[in-house]
Structure 1
Amino acid sequence: MEEKRADVLRTAKKSILGNTLIALVKGTAGVFGNSYALIADAIESTTDVFSSLMLLIGLRYSTKPADDNHPYGHGKIEPLMTFMIVILLVISATVIAVKSIDNIQTPHKAPAPFTLIVLAVIVIVKEVFYRLISRKSNETQSSSLKAEAWHHRSDAITSLAAFIGIGIAVLMGEGYEAADDWAALLASGIILFNAFLLLRPALGEIMDEHVHEELIEEVRIIASKVEGVQDTEKCYARKNGMLYHVDLHLIVKGSITVRHGHEIAHEVKDKVMGQLPEISDVLIHIEPD
């Protein structure tokens, strides 16, 4: 668990550094290159920096061990941090949309051609970040890291939209200057859509939604191989940060002693937690056949 925690925190720190550098590059290029689509992209990247900081704070807190006040640990802070990230995305999308509409109605110069080169590099870098962090989120089962990965993917998409808009404005010339602003408006819609994609699984985690069928099936298979277990009945799993809590009902012979049933339950618990390290606890109820 400590190794997984350290891995997640390292990934979050790298994400913060990357987002900070990219936001500075976008903002500078947007101002000097007269591109609001690029400035809008920089605003979105700036919110990414703050969301990454919240992610880091949440991950540090969520991996604290259980205590008397939090017997199930502190993992629920992860989806709460995801909610905060979604709020930031919605705010940034709204700001970008309002400013884009205002710019569309106001005549202005076309963006500078060099902004296309900047955006092309950023799209590639952001997609690489998405793939690296997405892989880490799958390895660690961290919903916050998954949200962070999608931040990078949405940034890549908005940068691509800006690239297309600026490209039209530069290539088509006079009369097409607003293509840059239409690209920024499209980017705001993409940001809102990605905010919804992040919100849905985080809400499911808070509500202990029944969405862990693969894990539950693995638990049933492991339990059924323990001597004395005739079958499994109810089995529920709920996610708490990067870990899971499992409730499992075992069916055993009705004629065995309470002590024997207790021993079977402990053996099942040890085997499940030994083979599935992402499970932090298993609560077992014995049912007679």
Structure 2
Amino acid sequence: MDDFRLSTPRLEACFIFCAGQTFFEGAIFVADRHHSALLAIWISLISNIVLTILKIVAGLLLASPVLLADGVHNAGDIIATVAALTSSMVSKKPADEDHPYGHGKAEVVASAFVAVVLVLAALWIGYQSIGALFQPPGEENWLALGAAAISLVWKQALYVYTIKVGKAANSKSVLATAYDHLADVYASLAAVIGIGIGLLGDRFHWEWAAYGDPVAGIVVSLLVLKLAYEMGRDSIDILMERNVSAEKLAHYEALLLTDENVKRIDRVRAREHGHYIIVDIRVGIPNDYTIQQGHDISKQLKKLIMDYDPDVVEVMIHLNPWEAGENTAK
């Protein structure tokens, strides 16, 4: 690590300095957004419980294997939503001695868990659909179609609502819940299409139509697997502390260069920590500046980045000495 000399008022060596707002002050902003995130997850949980009961009861009463399988799938959604709710509550906890950067990654862990649940759901749907191809086709009815249609509309509304809240709050747990709803939209759409084709087949005597439901189920299982893969990959990237997008880093660098005291940019890094971002920068400033001047520059640079990106709750600044005549990184 570079020397950090407090014995001189001049910047004779490199030093690490974090100035301006503290992590706790930055976290106040995201705390308000968590209320809407928690509400969205609670609504999703209650909806999943109601839909699970309705689908399983309707599947048993109407002897509809499609609705029964969808109801079992919804039961898995309850587990996933509880995990999302728990992680969202944990992520709200402030930083402490053991977790100085906060608990934001609890949401990422929940997102990874939901991805696993989706994989299991996709395998379940695929297994049931393939098995249905080798069994005598069941008799479809309009009540089963109505139940599937209600589930489709309900889940689509939940997806639109939760994806909006998740993006606004930058909440990984709410986004995971939203994608879980999207998987249910696929499943319910397959049920509507499959049952609808079956009813048309009964009316027009299309023998092939009896297998529309399982074929649609196989397609849905592939779509859900793709969704789970994307969710899981994103969660792993965050847990491995992948850099934020190159575009966002470029914006950070552009902001730093607007300060005439910044003569060189040595490094800019940033990582997502759940629903917030932590930025780490190293810049060169004239080596004859005092520590007070360095403090003021650090404070200004931190304000620039946090004003630009409300998701940033901490900016760690390392000031390096720059001598007149050196190349600048303008």
Same fold (TM over 0.5): yes
Answering whether residue 313 of structure 2 is matched by residue 280 of structure 1, we say: yes
State how many pairs are aligned.
Answer: 289
Q: Deviations over 1:68-119 (max 9, x none)?
A: 1111111112121112112222222223332333332221431212222222
Local SS of the residue matching 2:93: coil
Residue number in structure 2 paired with 1:52: 81
Task: For 1:250-269, list aligned pairs within 5 A.
Answer: 250-269=283-302
Task: For 1:116-195, list aligned pairs within 5 A.
Answer: 116-173=145-202, 175=207, 176-195=209-228
Runs of 4+ in 1 over 4 A off after TM superposition: none
Answering whether residue 74 of structure 2 is matched by residue 74 of structure 1, we say: no
Local SS of the residue matching 2:287: coil
Task: For 1:30-45, list aligned pairs within 5 A.
Answer: 30-45=59-74
Counterpart Cα distance in 2 of 1:142 and 1:215:
18
Deviation at 1:185, TM superposition (A): 3.0
Q: Any conservation in 1 of the 2:244–2:272 contact (CA below 8 Å)?
A: no
Counterpart Cα distance in 2 of 1:109 and 1:258:
79
Deviation at 1:227, TM superposition (A): 5.1
Higher relative contact order (CA 8 A, sep 6+): 2
Taking a change above 3 Å as real, the CA distance of residues 70 and 154 of structure 1, as seen in their structure-2 partners, is same
Counterpart Cα distance in 2 of 1:210 and 1:53:
29
What TM-score comes out, normalization by structure 1 length? 0.91
Which one-letter code corresponds to 1:259 in the other structure?
Answer: Q
Counterpart Cα distance in 1 of 2:259 and 2:274:
29
Task: For 1:5-16, list aligned pairs within 5 A.
Answer: 5-16=34-45
Percent identical residues:
27
Residue number in structure 2 paired with 1:233: 266
Q: 2:126 aligns with which of 97, 111, 126?
A: 97
Two-structure CA RMSD over aligned residues (Å): 2.1
Counterpart Cα distance in 2 of 1:93 and 1:43:
12
Local SS of the residue matching 2:210: coil
Taking a change above 3 Å as real, the CA distance of residues 122 and 116 of structure 1, as seen in their structure-2 partners, is same
Taking a change above 3 Å as real, the CA distance of residues 18 and 255 of structure 1, as seen in their structure-2 partners, is same
Answering whether residue 33 of structure 2 is matched by residue 4 of structure 1, we say: yes
What TM-score comes out, normalization by structure 2 length? 0.80
Structure 2: gaps spanning 5 or more residues: 1-29, 323-330
Task: Select the structure of larger CA radius of gyration.
Answer: 2
Deviation at 1:168, TM superposition (A): 1.4
Deviation at 1:275, TM superposition (A): 4.7
Structure 1: gaps spanning 5 or more residues: none
Deviation at 1:213, TM superposition (A): 3.2
Deviation at 1:155, TM superposition (A): 0.9
Which one-letter code corresponds to 2:268 in the other structure?
Answer: C
Deviation at 1:59, TM superposition (A): 0.6
